[in-house]
Amino acid sequence: MTTAKPLRVGMVGYAFMGAAHSHAWRTAPRFFDLPLRPRLTAVAGRNGAGVRAAADKLGWESVETDWRRLIERDDIDLIDICTPGNTHADIAIAALEAGKHVLCEKPLANSVEEAERMTLAAETAAKQGIFSMCGFSYRRTPALALAKRFVDEGRLGDLRHVRAQYLQDWLSDANAPMTWRLDKSTSGSGSLGDIGAHSIDAAQWVTGQNITGVSALLETFVPERPLAGDLVGLGGHGDISSDAPRGKVTVDDAAVFSAKFDGGTAATGAIGVFEATRYALGRKNAMRLELNGTKGSLAFDFEDMNVLSFYDVAGSPDAGFRRIFVTEPEHPYVGNWWPTGHGLGYEHGFTHQVVDLVTAIGEGRQPEPSFADALQVQRVLAAVEASAANSSQWQKV
Ligand code: SOE
């Protein structure tokens, strides 16, 4: 039993991300040696019965029906924000100013202005040893972390192309009901900020290059949807009658954009093509990244998440792409789990996120991605929306 000092966590929200984060807080100390031992001290939610049921199911010691109570409690060291984007700024800034570390789900905020205020609060708090991280968890998928290792080792040479797609299909049915994810006032944007943000962060992190310019197209295929009786989750179909009243969708259903990268330490930056949609019928969670460089290429698809495909120009011409099964002990994170070949899942990225966050806090250094890293993603999201709104560049055929 570790004698490490506890890190007492207060989580806000208990839906899909709350469940994934709870699993990570419980599991991380059981598979990794951590300098602090996470404790699931309290979970907050507005609905008393709902949050008590969630506490029982997800393993939280106490409940609050107002997140501000978590900020006031002196038995909470870290606030974990698992709520929609319209609440992130208020909760994160209050927590940081109260001297509590923060883990905030992605995207950081619903606007650049909010993200800038959060980043300022984070940088001020960091000077006092209070740290924060934004939950771009795909960085902690072993195959993507291996991809970054390959790029950093120069195995792809200078990068020419970035090809990033995030394809889901849970809105393909025009009668799938309205959810908070389709309301701009809570979600900030649709596919662009929800899943496109993952692609932007992963592309910038793996390449080590920031996006400096974009040209974009946003589309809303289904402008109105049935209002569900209860808030349904990701694509859940509540009991929707065909004549249910319909609400207006105020976000994008799909986003496509081209991007210019700054080159990082290289002379010339890569060029990129991005796509994010919830209408790619048959694609369930296909978060894909392909890089083409002067010495090699790599390709990743989350729907085959234990594999990284790698093409080495120095290899024999008929070698083609090699399929690397990312389950060897020397691969990122996997040595702490199972023998080679057994594979990991979606939830492991969240556990690795907790491992890296708790280790950085224990060692007194800034975790990554920082709020400043997430602000860069927010700036790209805003640029995509500005470009799509300005159709003057669009050449009619
Ligand atoms: C919905 O598209 C969603 O739950 C995203 O919000 C998550 O960030 C992603 O990991 C899975 O899909």
Give per-residue pLDDT as tens, 157-212. 999 999 999 999 999 999 999 999 999 999 999 999 999 999 999 999 999 999 99
Lowest mean pLDDT among 6-20, 88-102, 118-132, 215-229: 215-229
* Cα four-point dihedral sign 40, 42, 43, 49: positive
Q: How far apart are the CA of 168 and the centre of ligand 1, in A?
A: 9
Lowest mean pLDDT among 24-28, 145-149, 267-271, 327-331: 267-271
Two tokens, residue 185 = 């006032």
* Cα four-point dihedral sign 305, 163, 280, 14: positive
Q: Is the CB of 281 under 6 A from ligand 1?
A: no
Give per-residue pLDDT as tens, 144-172. 999 999 999 999 999 999 999 999 999 99
Lowest mean pLDDT among 158-172, 224-238, 328-342: 224-238
Give per-residue pLDDT as tens, 237-266. 555 566 779 999 999 999 999 999 999 888
Query: Which atom number of ligand 1 is nearest to the Cα of residue 138?
Result: 10
Q: Is the CB of 194 under 6 A from ligand 1?
A: yes
Percent of the chain with pLDDT over 90: 90
Query: Which atom number of ligand 1 is nearest to the Cα of residue 198?
Result: 8
Query: Which atom number of ligand 1 is nearest to the Cα of residue 278?
Result: 2
Tell me the C-alpha distance between 131 and 120, whole Å. 12
Q: How far apart are the CA of 191 and the centre of ligand 1, in A?
A: 9
Residues whose CB falls within 8 Å of the CB of residue 172, separated by 6 or more in sequence, listed in order: 278, 279, 281
Confidence of residue 394 (pLDDT cuts 50, 70, 90): confident
Strands 296-301 and 307-312: antiparallel
pLDDT at 265: 83
Smallest CA-to-CA distance from 180 within 228, 135, 127, 222 is with: 228
Q: Is the CB of 201 under 6 A from ligand 1?
A: no
Q: How far apart are the CA of 217 and the centre of ligand 1, in A?
A: 21
The single-letter DSSP state of residue 158 is S
Neighbours of 3 (CB within 10 A): 5
The amino acid that residue 146 corresponds to is L
Two tokens, residue 166 = 């995030």
3-state DSSP call for residue 387?
helix
Task: Output the residue whose Cα is nearest ligand 1's atom 9.
Answer: 195
Q: Is the CB of 284 under 6 A from ligand 1?
A: no
- Residue range 69-92: average pLDDT? 98
Confidence of residue 391 (pLDDT cuts 50, 70, 90): confident
pLDDT at 240: 59
Query: Which atom number of ligand 1 is nearest to the Cα of residue 137?
Result: 10
Residue-averaged pLDDT of the chain: 95
pLDDT at 239: 55
Tell me the C-alpha distance between 299 and 287, whole Å. 11
Provide, for the chain, the percentages of residues in helix, strand and coil under a 3-state DSSP scheme, each rounded to the nearest 5.
Answer: 35, 25, 40
3-state DSSP call for residue 146?
helix
Q: Is the CB of 147 under 6 A from ligand 1?
A: no
Q: Is the CB of 195 under 6 A from ligand 1?
A: yes
Q: Tell me the C-alpha to C-alpha distance, in Å, between residue 289 and each of 50, 206, 292.
A: 38, 9, 10
pLDDT at 231: 43
Cis peptide before 107 (omega within 30 of 0): yes
The domains located in the chain, with CATH, are: 5-138 (3.40.50.720), 141-345+375-389 (3.30.360.10)
String of DSSP letters for 281-328: TT-SSEEEEEEEESSEEEEEEGGGTTEEEEEETTS-TT---EEEE--S
Site to substitute for ligand 1 among 166, 195, 201, most atoms within 8 A of C-beta: 195
Q: Is the CB of 134 under 6 A from ligand 1?
A: no
pTM value > 0.85? yes
Site to substitute for ligand 1 among 104, 189, 194, 251, most atoms within 8 A of C-beta: 194
Tell me the C-alpha distance between 192 and 169, whole Å. 14
Q: How far apart are the CA of 195 and the centre of ligand 1, in A?
A: 6
Smallest CA-to-CA distance from 177 within 252, 241, 266 is with: 241
Evaluate if residue 101 carries a pLDDT over 90. Answer: yes
